[in-house]
Amino acid sequence: MRSLLLPLGLACALDPSAVRAQQHDLIGYWHNWNDGSAPYMALSQIDDRYTVIDIAFAEPLAGTSHLMTFSPSGTPQSTFIAEVAALRAQGKKVLISIGGANAPVHLDSDQERDEFVSSMLAILDSYGFQGIDIDLEGSSVAITGGTIGTPTDATILRLIDAINSIAEAYEASTGTPMMLTMAPETAYVQGGQSAFGGIWGAYLPVIEALRDRIDILHVQLYNSGSMYGIDGGIYTQGSADFIVSQTEALLQGFGTVGGFFAPLPPEKVAIGLPACPSAAGGGYVSPGLLTAAVAYLRGAGPQPGQYQLISTYPGLRGLMTWSINWDAAPGCAAAYEFADSYEEIFNLSTTLTDVVAPTRAAYIQDGELIIPELTGQSTVSFFDSMGRLCAHAVLQNGKSKLPSNLLRGMYSITLTDYRVAPMRVLVP
């Protein structure tokens, strides 16, 4: 049946992995210090392809583990604030990251929790940050009992309470939601499959309690030991199998002694990797290997290793890197190698294929979406009358099997790999 230009009227049966408009992000950490190999840089010098900038780091005041402080080290405060505002005006998200490897944070009493909240709100307000990134490592997050759904450690409960309180106060003050991201190491998340105690699986109760607030979880797939995949295999960092297996664990969920960790939707999951070999102690992958791994995850490429996916995830949120400074450094790898990879993988504007608009409308025939005159491969997205993303499909030479969750009605469709105007199609 050919498409008819009728008013959009029916909503789709929403795919749980597609609850908002398609969006991809390149998330990068910005060093608030000078490193000879990855020098300090002004915020105004950040490559425009970075869409989420995590300022590293807010740290506890000397002599405390909970009174957070931040001050730009190489830029006057007034200039730094203006640079944050300029990035925001460009549509970027600028977050303050809490912790890091060298700054343990402990909330050992309710008073410390409340003082932590107050100090973080002051930082958000002073600099105009739009949210927080939780990068607590080492002894900052550990568990001694409880389950994923019912934590019992007082420090974990206080951390959850504190993050909720910061978000609620920020939203009450600004009238906008606070962005929340997390960057745990693998042991704290996927490591819960091996054990549930100490650091192993320690982030899982925090993620579970805050899963409705979390915008992006980007586990550090570097500086890691070998990890189980949900297939029972053991995978090593620096490989396509490690990227694919550890990412699908988040997207399918996995069992632990502390209970089942429920899957996260693809739009809340990004892949965290070092920008170049010197940026981390291990886990770097070449652009070609990264491209192959992400293409497979998104259903746009062949299996690059031994791990076999259960499903595909076209809506995967994007990539995270440590760090923006390392990506810019020409002595580690090619300058902006990571940003270039992101641009290629997610088919951004500079790499889109120019095509003449099809002379015939898109239509459905025998359970397939057909867009005449298009060649090559692209991801097609279906939106209902409310502008909600309903489903993704992979279009190959102008044809794609129709997603099973679409109800009868008119949809707007867009293509990620071509410069072609949105089209409408009637699903009979």
Q: Can you give the CATH number for the domain in which 383 is found?
A: 2.60.40
Average pLDDT, stretch 45-64? 97
Structural domain contains residue 333: yes
Tens digit of each residue's pLDDT (9 = 90 or more) over 317-327: 999 999 999 99
C-alpha–C-alpha distance, residues 2 and 425, integer Å? 8
Q: pLDDT band at residue 382, thresholds of 50, 70 and 90?
A: confident
Which comes out higher in pLDDT, residue 136 or 18?
A: 136
Phi-psi region of 215 (alpha: psi -120 to 50; beta: other; left: phi over 0): alpha
Asked if residue 421 and residue 322 are part of one domain, the reply reads no
Structural domain contains residue 16: no
pLDDT of residue 423: 73
- Boundary-marking domain end, from 303, 321, 345: 345
pLDDT of residue 16: 36
Q: Hey, which residues does 29 pair with through a beta bridge?
A: 54
- Please indicate whether residue 137 is annotated as part of the active site: yes
Cα→Cα distances 129→40, 65, 123, 160, 283, Å:
19, 22, 8, 20, 30
Look at residue 355 and tell me whether its pLDDT is greater than 90: no
Question: Which residue matches tokens 């970075």?
Answer: 50
Look at residue 426 and tell me whether its pLDDT is greater than 90: no
Asked if residue 300 and residue 371 are part of one domain, the reply reads no
Asked if residue 64 and residue 136 are part of one domain, the reply reads yes
C-alpha–C-alpha distance, residues 254 and 388, integer Å? 29
Q: Domain containing 383: what range?
A: 353-427
Tens digit of each residue's pLDDT (9 = 90 or more) over 157-215: 999 999 999 999 999 999 999 999 999 999 999 999 999 999 999 999 999 999 999 99
Structural domain contains residue 4: no
Asked if residue 374 and residue 328 are part of one domain, the reply reads no
Percent of the chain whose pLDDT exceeds 90: 71
pLDDT of residue 127: 98
- Give the pairing of strands 68-69 and 93-100: unpaired
29: domain CATH number is 3.20.20.80
Asked if residue 98 and residue 123 are part of one domain, the reply reads yes
Structural domain contains residue 392: yes
Structural domain contains residue 20: no
First to last CA, the chain: 7
C-alpha–C-alpha distance, residues 396 and 373, integer Å? 11
Look at residue 394 and tell me whether its pLDDT is greater than 80: yes
Choice among 162-176, 211-225, 412-426 with the minimum mean pLDDT: 412-426
Asked if residue 365 and residue 282 are part of one domain, the reply reads no
Beta strand segments in 189-291, E: 216-217, 227-228, 234-235, 254-256, 259-261, 270-274
Asked if residue 227 and residue 115 are part of one domain, the reply reads yes
Asked if residue 161 and residue 59 are part of one domain, the reply reads yes
Asked if residue 374 and residue 318 are part of one domain, the reply reads no
- Boundary-marking domain end, from 286, 313, 345: 345
pLDDT of residue 354: 45
Asked if residue 124 and residue 173 are part of one domain, the reply reads yes
Structural domain contains residue 99: yes
Look at residue 261 and tell me whether its pLDDT is greater than 80: yes
Asked if residue 321 and residue 379 are part of one domain, the reply reads no
Number of independent structural domains in the chain: 2
Which comes out higher in pLDDT, residue 372 or 66?
A: 66
C-alpha–C-alpha distance, residues 338 and 386, integer Å? 35
Q: Which of 59, 137, 185, 267 is catalytic?
A: 137
Tens digit of each residue's pLDDT (9 = 90 or more) over 334-347: 999 999 999 999 87
- pTM of the prediction? 0.79
- Boundary-marking domain end, from 292, 315, 345: 345
Q: pLDDT band at residue 280, thresholds of 50, 70 and 90?
A: very high
Look at residue 384 and tell me whether its pLDDT is greater than 80: no
Asked if residue 340 and residue 364 are part of one domain, the reply reads no
